[in-house]
């Protein structure tokens, strides 16, 4: 079974899970609250950027396909 990474990386649930695992590991290793907040912020920002990039690429692809279909007619 092939993993659809594009779909996974654009999932808010995936990024929430990543954040949860990383923060849990930080708690286990006694990282302070300030560090945990910073890491959660970085993970959230990374997830937001990944979702934006994938959405834009899908939009660009759809526009390109629309232009190609218009030219063929």
* Inter-residue contact 10 to 51 (CB < 8 Å): yes
Reported as a single tens digit per residue, the pLDDT across 26-60 is 999 999 999 999 999 999 999 999 889 888 988 88
At 72 the pLDDT is 61
Give this prediction's pTM. 0.68
Query: For the chain, what is the mean pLDDT?
Result: 87
At 46 the pLDDT is 93
At 32 the pLDDT is 96
């Amino acid at each position: 079974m092939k993993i659809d990474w594009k779909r996974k990386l654009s999932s808010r649930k995936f990024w929430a899970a990543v954040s949860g695992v990383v923060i849990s590991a930080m708690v286990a290793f006694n990282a302070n609250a300030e560090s945990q907040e910073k890491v959660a912020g970085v993970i959230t920002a990374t997830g937001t950027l990944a979702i934006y990039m994938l959405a834009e690429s899908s939009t660009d692809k759809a526009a390109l396909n629309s232009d190609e279909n218009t030219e063929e007619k």
